[in-house]
A and B are shown apart, each in its own frame.
Chain A
Amino acid sequence: MIGLALLFLSATLSSLGAAEADLRAIIAKFATAKGFSETGAVVHELAATGDPKVERPLAALADGNLYIRKADSLVLIGKEAGDGVQLSDPLSGAASGEAAKDDITKIKVNNTLRRAIRDALGTLTLGAKDPAVRLAAAGTMFKTPDAANIEPLDTAIANETVASVKALLEQARAASVLVSDRPEADKLAAIQVIGARGDRDAVSLLTSVDANASDAVKQAAAAAIANINSTLAFWDAGQNIWYGISLGSVLLLAAIGLAITFGVMGVINMAHGEMVMLGAYTTFVVQQVIRTSFPGLFDWSLVIALPMAFLVAGFVGFVIERGIIRFLYGRPLETLLATWGVSLILQQAVRSIFGPTNQEVGNPTWMSGSFDVGQLAITWNRLWILVFALTVFGVLLYVMKRTPWGLQMRAVTANRRMAASMGIRTPWVDALTFALGSGIAGIAGVALSQIDNVSPNLGRGYIIDSFMVVVFGGVGNLWGTLVGAFSLGVVNKVLEPYAGAVLGKIVVLVLIVLFIQKRPRGLFALKGRAVEA
């Protein structure tokens, strides 16, 4: 195996001749470089060769995968495999045996080095085959303008076939022109191009226009900044509203189970947050099993966790209702204390089983990262949570309004004795309703595990907000919960940039107190006999 690799190596060596030997000589310097600045110098030397082959060692270095073998001070790329490290040649990528972790030293990198490597790779990968790589390269070059970049960019623009890449390349070229000593007319045109981009990066670039630039250039830059800022102000408002909607969806998810147990049944359920927590822990367990047994299914882990979380939390809710709450109907104070006790027991139980520390719940790839709509950055996880919250709401509404079970639930809430006379087994309906509310809290936990800590205290953070949403929206009304959650979310997030997160929250609380003074039954008050019962 090693012999083969060597053969292959010598073959490539002889065919490429001196250039590759030079590269190897530079790479060998990593072994003797001391400290980040010397390593940085080697990076620059490698990048200066302009040879696209240096991409492999540089990318490996940036990822912290470049090692020095202690035995022969050879610089190699390493990939962790089990207990050892799989080594390969930095230029050809040919396998070069394995080594124990103690036999090799990792070449350390820091942020400054990573940035230097990224910039170097930007120029080197301009001619890459994959348009996505070219796009990334253009993006990097836009952020690191340099007069020396103009020429390679001109060539790249001439050869580019993909429109989006070409546009970004032109912007990168404009950025570089701005810092070069090209004539004023070129610079004015460049400001036009950058101004048209219209985002924060453009503002950032334009504000750093050289103080020695001519007045015309400075004025054009100032005008372009003013122009961008006025559009951005509009987008900022949109962004705050999006954040509000997104916070609202989280509130809705947390509160929607409570809208059933507290809203419909009237049980002050302090253990509601712990149902959310149980759902999150179910997700964790499901992911653990998938990680160890079926790694290919990881992207499906949340979908698999959903029914499990519903069943686990629903079952616990069922047990709580049958074991405790049914003896306490009509005694709100005792219910409050008993469910509070239950919540403490659940928390401590989870703490004993899983330990007090946070557990890692991974994000599937389709929930990571963000995409842009105009100047609005929308993160995938928030978008999916919004979609999910609305779906859960829709399904729940359907169950309540369109199924026999929902009809029975509503009948029991409206008039228990009459419902019982009609042959409905009211205790059974109570138990299932409570289980439903708890189960929904459980699936909320699956979603919340994506954005929050999975720790025994997870539920604590949501219980107050959930009650606030349900009371504000109007007890017993699902639509009220929906409108309540979204209006609280939007008000909160619109206030936050001006008042700060702490004061913003206080203002929202004061507003709710005032509102409840005016309308004690919330936004959408239930009318009729049920209210007095």
Chain B
Amino acid sequence: MRGNFSSITRMVSAGVIAAGLMSAPAKAADDTIKVGILHSLSGTMAISETTLKDAMLMLIDEQNAKGGLLGKKLEAVVVDPASNWPLFAEKARELISKDKVAAVFGCWTSVSRKSVLPVFSELDNILFYPVQYEGEESERNVFYTGAAPNQQAIPAVDYLMSEDGGSVKRWVLEGTDYVYPRTTNKILEAYLKSKGVAAEDIMVNYTPFGFSDWQTEVSAIKKFGSAGKKTAVVSTVNGDANVPFYKELGNQGIKAEDIPVMAFSVGEEELAGLDTAPLVGHLAAWNYFESVDTPENKKFIADWHKFIKNDKRTTNDPMEAHYIGFNMWVKAVEKAGTTDPDKVIDAMIGVSVPNLTGGYSTMMPNHHITKPVLIGEIQADGQFETVSRTPGLVMGDEWSDYLPDSKDLISDWRKPLSCGNFNVATGKCGGKGTN
């Protein structure tokens, strides 16, 4: 969902990387099951995606230590799409056609996911997508283990409106200018208005990628917040622009008690580059925090530190999504008794595995999963402390009920419907999304 590029970067880095880092040569052995890992290891997105590659390698290692799958060892095939969207499609094709992988775990930005979709449906393989995204999509070949807007954005806003969250009446929707923030903000605006928030109490603002001079924006937030009503900022600001944003907030003295900032793209990883003392109390909404105190999570963190050989490395929400997705895939393969994607896709629905926050996540017929939603406050040590948690699990809703274009759509990949965009108003498959 995040990342941007100049075309020169793309051309040159594609050339350099393609020459330098061709995928690991596939050993033509039938006694292993190959799993593709499609995460950028160079370019701007490397900052987020490298961690996910390592997490996948760890999960595959652990599965092998447990005796592999169907009596065979798992083998990871790592490729580097170099934060370059067309290269994602090429590398995906290479993984499926040349390396014959059984499933692929990968992508971060929505645009990279969109660019590999045709490849996965053409070659009929499986993609596990681990990042929170804007929704408005459901594909037969993709399993979405990150949060849909209703598993992150809406509960977050609900929390801010509640008494515990400060009964917020005025809203700043601050985002980076691309598809995820724009769609999410569109959904949030419609949602807020449905809750009786007046149009003049909502301010929407967008900034470019990698924006670093936040003075004007922060002082505009300050100004908007001085209208005598409790104000909060809902931030869909892209990862890298967050550090200067928070630094400016701290320096201009905006305290979380006065104007809290609720972020959807700021996790433990982003906070690692920041002195969080001035940010204590600002919020984030995720389905997982490293600080969650469960035995599963403690073991996961300990394994991660051991695997990466660094006690300081944090864990984050997309890592948990891969943890869930990988375990679901293992279970589905065992259930189907084969790694044939066609059969595994059918076997996936209804599979239920433990998540790291002390519950179970289930794959739903719309290829999204059930998760709890956690709201955390930033602490001085760079971790989040959970201050609110949805009472039950929230089911991912791919087609938002708050957008006019998608409110009649549902997705159900079970036979006989087998449709990702069924329009309940017209009773036909093939409705339209908003993007």
Q: Which residues of A contact B (CB under 8 A)?
A: 36-37, 64, 108, 110-112, 114-115, 118, 143, 200-201, 203-205, 207-208, 239-240, 243, 246-247, 250, 337, 340-341, 344, 348, 351, 355-360, 362-363, 368-370, 377, 379-382, 451-457, 460-461, 464, 493, 496-497, 500-502, 505
Closest Cβ of chain A: how far from B303's Cβ, in Å?
19
Which interface residue of B13, B219, B258, B380 has the most chain A CB atoms within 10 A? B219
B251 touches A243 (CB 8 A): no
Partner of B273, one of A246, A369, A455: A455
Q: How far, in angstroms, from A110 to B378 measured CA to CA in the complex?
A: 10
A204-B226, A356-B47 given; 9 more Cβ-contact pairs under 8 Å: A108-B387, A115-B166, A204-B228, A243-B215, A357-B47, A360-B272, A363-B275, A370-B253, A382-B251
| CB-defined contacts of B250 to chain A, threshold 8 Å | 368
3 closest Cβ contacts across the A-B interface? A358-B273, A208-B228, A200-B226
Partner of B50, one of A37, A64, A356, A454: A356
| CB-defined contacts of B260 to chain A, threshold 8 Å | 111
Partner of A357, one of B251, B252, B273: B273
A454 touches B42 (CB 8 A): no
A451 touches B12 (CB 8 A): no
A360 touches B274 (CB 8 A): yes
B213 touches A340 (CB 8 A): no
Q: Quick one: which of B235-254 are within 8 Å of A by CB?
A: 240, 243-244, 247-248, 250-253
A453 touches B207 (CB 8 A): no
B227 touches A497 (CB 8 A): no
The 8 sampled A-B contact pairs (Cβ below 8 Å) are A110-B377, A204-B227, A368-B250, A369-B253, A379-B248, A452-B212, A455-B273, A461-B212
Q: How far, in angstroms, from A8 to B99 measured CA to CA in the complex?
A: 74
Closest Cβ of chain A: how far from B128's Cβ, in Å?
21
- Given A112-B163, A358-B270: A502 in contact with B223 (beta carbons within 8 A): no
Partner of B216, one of A370, A454, A464, A496: A496
Q: How far, in angstroms, from A312 to B310 measured CA to CA in the complex?
A: 27
| CB-defined contacts of B44 to chain A, threshold 8 Å | 457, 460
Which interface residue of B166, B229, B273 has the most chain A CB atoms within 10 A? B273
Determine whether B222 belongs to the interface, using a CB cutoff of 8 Å to chain A.
yes
Partner of B207, one of A118, A143, A501: A501
Determine whether B336 belongs to the interface, using a CB cutoff of 8 Å to chain A.
no
A360 touches B210 (CB 8 A): no
| CB-defined contacts of A358 to chain B, threshold 8 Å | 47, 240, 243, 270, 272-274
| CB-defined contacts of A357 to chain B, threshold 8 Å | 47, 51, 269, 272-273
A207 touches B228 (CB 8 A): yes
Interface size on B, residues (CB 8 A): 64
Closest Cβ of chain A: how far from B309's Cβ, in Å?
12
Determine whether B115 belongs to the interface, using a CB cutoff of 8 Å to chain A.
no
| CB-defined contacts of A247 to chain B, threshold 8 Å | 213, 215
| CB-defined contacts of B164 to chain A, threshold 8 Å | 36-37, 110, 112
- Given A369-B253, A370-B252, A379-B251: A497 in contact with B220 (beta carbons within 8 A): yes
| CB-defined contacts of B243 to chain A, threshold 8 Å | 358, 452-453
| CB-defined contacts of B163 to chain A, threshold 8 Å | 37, 112
Q: How far, in angstroms, from A369 to B247 measured CA to CA in the complex?
A: 10
A111 touches B257 (CB 8 A): yes
| CB-defined contacts of B9 to chain A, threshold 8 Å | 460
Give the nearest-CB partner of B375 in chain A: A110
- Given A452-B212, A457-B47: A108 in contact with B385 (beta carbons within 8 A): yes
Determine whether B211 belongs to the interface, using a CB cutoff of 8 Å to chain A.
yes
A382 touches B240 (CB 8 A): no
Q: How far, in angstroms, from A497 to B248 measured CA to CA in the complex?
A: 17
Closest Cβ of chain A: how far from B59's Cβ, in Å?
20
Q: How far, in angstroms, from A454 to B248 measured CA to CA in the complex?
A: 16
Give the nearest-CB partner of A494 in chain B: B216
A64 touches B379 (CB 8 A): yes
- Given A340-B8, A359-B273: A111 in contact with B240 (beta carbons within 8 A): no
Partner of B206, one of A348, A493, A501: A501
Partner of B281, one of A114, A369, A454: A114
| CB-defined contacts of B281 to chain A, threshold 8 Å | 110-111, 114
B226 touches A201 (CB 8 A): yes
Determine whether B217 belongs to the interface, using a CB cutoff of 8 Å to chain A.
yes
B165 touches A112 (CB 8 A): yes
| CB-defined contacts of B275 to chain A, threshold 8 Å | 360, 362-363
Give the nearest-CB partner of B211 in chain A: A501
Give the nearest-CB partner of A381 in chain B: B251
Give the nearest-CB partner of B219 in chain A: A239
Closest Cβ of chain A: how far from B391's Cβ, in Å?
13
Determine whether B205 belongs to the interface, using a CB cutoff of 8 Å to chain A.
yes
Q: How far, in angstroms, from A502 to B283 measured CA to CA in the complex?
A: 26
Determine whether B46 belongs to the interface, using a CB cutoff of 8 Å to chain A.
yes
Q: How far, in angstroms, from A363 to B277 measured CA to CA in the complex?
A: 11
Determine whether B16 belongs to the interface, using a CB cutoff of 8 Å to chain A.
yes
Give the nearest-CB partner of B21 in chain A: A348
| CB-defined contacts of B13 to chain A, threshold 8 Å | 344
Mask: chain B, 352-388; 1 = CB below 8 Å from A; 0 = not:
0000000000000000000000000101100001010
A493 touches B387 (CB 8 A): no
Give the nearest-CB partner of B210 in chain A: A461
Give the nearest-CB partner of B381 in chain A: A80
Q: How far, in angstroms, from A356 to B247 measured CA to CA in the complex?
A: 21
Partner of A451, one of B219, B247, B269: B247
Q: How far, in angstroms, from A207 to B229 measured CA to CA in the complex?
A: 9
Determine whether B208 belongs to the interface, using a CB cutoff of 8 Å to chain A.
yes
| CB-defined contacts of B206 to chain A, threshold 8 Å | 500-502
Q: Quick one: which of B385-402 are within 8 Å of A by CB?
A: 385, 387
Closest Cβ of chain A: how far from B95's Cβ, in Å?
22
B217 touches A501 (CB 8 A): yes
Partner of B12, one of A108, A112, A344, A460: A344
Q: How far, in angstroms, from A505 to B240 measured CA to CA in the complex?
A: 19
| CB-defined contacts of B244 to chain A, threshold 8 Å | 451-453
Closest Cβ of chain B: how far from A510's Cβ, in Å?
15
| CB-defined contacts of B419 to chain A, threshold 8 Å | none
A112 touches B166 (CB 8 A): yes
Which interface residue of B206, B220, B243, B283 has the most chain A CB atoms within 10 A? B243
| CB-defined contacts of A205 to chain B, threshold 8 Å | 228
Q: How far, in angstroms, from A35 to B49 measured CA to CA in the complex?
A: 37
A200 touches B272 (CB 8 A): no
Q: How far, in angstroms, from A246 to B207 measured CA to CA in the complex?
A: 18
B257 touches A115 (CB 8 A): yes
Partner of B205, one of A239, A243, A369, A500: A500
Partner of B219, one of A111, A208, A377: A377
| CB-defined contacts of A207 to chain B, threshold 8 Å | 227-228
Give the nearest-CB partner of B207 in chain A: A501
Closest Cβ of chain B: how far from A379's Cβ, in Å?
4
Give the nearest-CB partner of B269 in chain A: A357
Q: How far, in angstroms, from A236 to B243 measured CA to CA in the complex?
A: 25
- Given A357-B269, A358-B243: A246 in contact with B253 (beta carbons within 8 A): no
